[in-house]
Amino acid sequence: MKFPRLGVNIDHVATLRQQRGENYPDVTRAADIVLAAGAHQITIHLREDRRHIQDADVPSVHKMCSHFDLPLNLEMGCSDEMIEIAILEKPEWVCLVPEKREERTTEGGLDVLSPFNFDRIKLACEKLKKFSPETKISLFVECHEEVLKKCVEMPIDAVEIHTGDYARDFQDSKDISHHLKSYKKLKKIIKNAGLGYHAGHGLTLSSLEPLLKEKIFEEYNIGHWIISESIFLGLGPVVKEMLALINKYPLED
């Protein structure tokens, strides 16, 4: 039986590290734990402003993925600098995303409808395919008919549907049926072109389930919720470990 793949985005392990300028928590150690737990790939986003993942993390996380013989999915903006990095690193997947410095997280999908942007993205894909032919490419886009029809004109391997609005509506207990309907309906455009149909952004354990039930996507990339939840699952044992150390050293003999 075939099941959907889970890519775990570990950007926010780096967020915590960068917040204090320390060398912990170690992103590569996080990749090790995630892959040892059975996840199917690691996703990291090297942002232009380097707010979380740093350049040195990319080869280090990639090496850990290779150790498990599993893919690294490198998310990046469509700039010359990023395409050069991808060509040097040759990750198994590159996911091209829109990037604005002022945004808190990736807001919305790539604009493939404006001819200028379409050409820019297509050129970037062609360059990647030429200099790193083994690297598969996905485009992070909104689930709109015109958008997906433009995507299939590009030399890509998959689209990743931005599930942010769906996830927000789910969190707010609003109707989600229209999202599910369009994800299912427009899947045909992508499958007819022989491409992969991936999803990500804002998903939680609860909001993932309706998508799984409907058997919509083949791959999910999930980060913020997994890292957040791991605080609660890990906090107790870590405090116990520290108390065990403290309790070895009474103040008076």
Among 160, 47, 176, smallest CA distance to 105 is for 47
156 lines the binding site for ligand PXP (CB under 6 A)? no
d(CA 253, CA 31): 43
Among 173, 32, 47, 25, smallest CA distance to 98 is for 47
C-alpha distances (whole Å) from 89 to each of 133, 151, 198 are: 12, 25, 23
Find the binder of ligand PXP among 200, 207, 211, 216 (CB under 6 A): 200
Residue 66 or residue 105: which is nearer to ligand PXP going by CB? 105
223 lines the binding site for ligand PXP (CB under 6 A)? yes
Find the binder of ligand PXP among 27, 28, 34, 45 (CB under 6 A): 45
Q: Residues near 113 by Cβ (< 8 Å), separated by ≥ 6?
A: 146, 147, 150
Alpha-carbon torsion 113, 47, 73, 209, what sign?
Answer: negative
Residues comprising the chain, all counted: 253
Residue 62 or residue 140: which is nearer to ligand PXP going by CB? 140
DSSP assignments along 89-109, one per residue: H--SEEEE----TT-SS--S-
202 lines the binding site for ligand PXP (CB under 6 A)? yes
Minimum distance, C-beta of residue 246 to ligand PXP, in the bound complex (Å): 35
How many residues at the interface with ligand PXP, by CB under 6 A? 19
Minimum distance, C-beta of residue 91 to ligand PXP, in the bound complex (Å): 14
Minimum distance, C-beta of residue 75 to ligand PXP, in the bound complex (Å): 5
Q: Residues near 9 by Cβ (< 8 Å), separated by ≥ 6?
A: 43, 44, 45, 75, 200, 221, 222, 223, 224, 226
Q: Residues near 74 by Cβ (< 8 Å), separated by ≥ 6?
A: 43, 44, 45, 46, 58, 86, 89, 91, 93, 94, 95
Minimum distance, C-beta of residue 12 to ligand PXP, in the bound complex (Å): 7
Minimum distance, C-beta of residue 164 to ligand PXP, in the bound complex (Å): 7
158 lines the binding site for ligand PXP (CB under 6 A)? no
219 lines the binding site for ligand PXP (CB under 6 A)? no
203 lines the binding site for ligand PXP (CB under 6 A)? yes
Stretch that binds ligand PXP, among 20-28, 195-203, 208-216, 238-246 (CB under 6 A): 195-203
Residues with active-site annotation: 45, 75, 201
What residues does 73 pair with on adjacent strands? 43, 93
- Per CB under 6 A, which of residues 63..122 are in contact with ligand PXP? 75, 95, 97, 105-106
Quote the tokens at residue 130.
Answer: 């030429």
Stretch that binds ligand PXP, among 116-124, 144-152, 217-225, 229-237 (CB under 6 A): 217-225
Q: Which residues bind to ligand PXP, rule: CB under 6 A?
A: 9, 11, 45, 75, 95, 97, 105-106, 140, 160, 200-203, 221-225
